[in-house]
Amino acid sequence: MRVLVASKVQVTISHSFVQTKKKQLVGPAYYANNMLNASDLNEFNQVVRNLLDNLTSRASSGDSRLKYAADSARGPNDQTIYGLVQCTPDLSESDCNSCLVQSIARIPIDCCKDKIGGRVVRPSCNMRFETSFLFYDPTATPSPPP
Residue 137 lies inside a defined structural domain of this protein? no
Residue 144 lies inside a defined structural domain of this protein? no
How much is the pLDDT for 139?
61
How much is the pLDDT for 146?
59
Residue 84 lies inside a defined structural domain of this protein? yes
Residue 70 lies inside a defined structural domain of this protein? yes
Question: Residue 89's pLDDT band (boundaries 50, 70, 90)?
Answer: very high
Residue 15 lies inside a defined structural domain of this protein? no
Residue 18 lies inside a defined structural domain of this protein? no
Count of Cβ atoms closer than 10 Å to residue 85 Cβ: 31
Distance CA(132)–CA(44), nearest Å, equals 14
Domain count, the chain: 1
CATH number for position 49: 3.30.430.20
Distance CA(137)–CA(21), nearest Å, equals 30
Q: Please name the amino acid found at residue 86.
A: Q
Q: At residue 27, does pLDDT exceed 80?
A: no
Question: Residue 1's pLDDT band (boundaries 50, 70, 90)?
Answer: very low
**Strands, DSSP E only, in the chain?**
2-5, 9-13, 18-20, 30-33, 68-74, 80-87, 117-121, 125-130
State the pTM of this model: 0.76
Q: Print the domain residue range for 71.
A: 24-130
Residue 10 lies inside a defined structural domain of this protein? no
Residue 36 lies inside a defined structural domain of this protein? yes
Who has greater pLDDT, 4 or 93?
A: 93
Q: At residue 134, does pLDDT exceed 90?
A: no
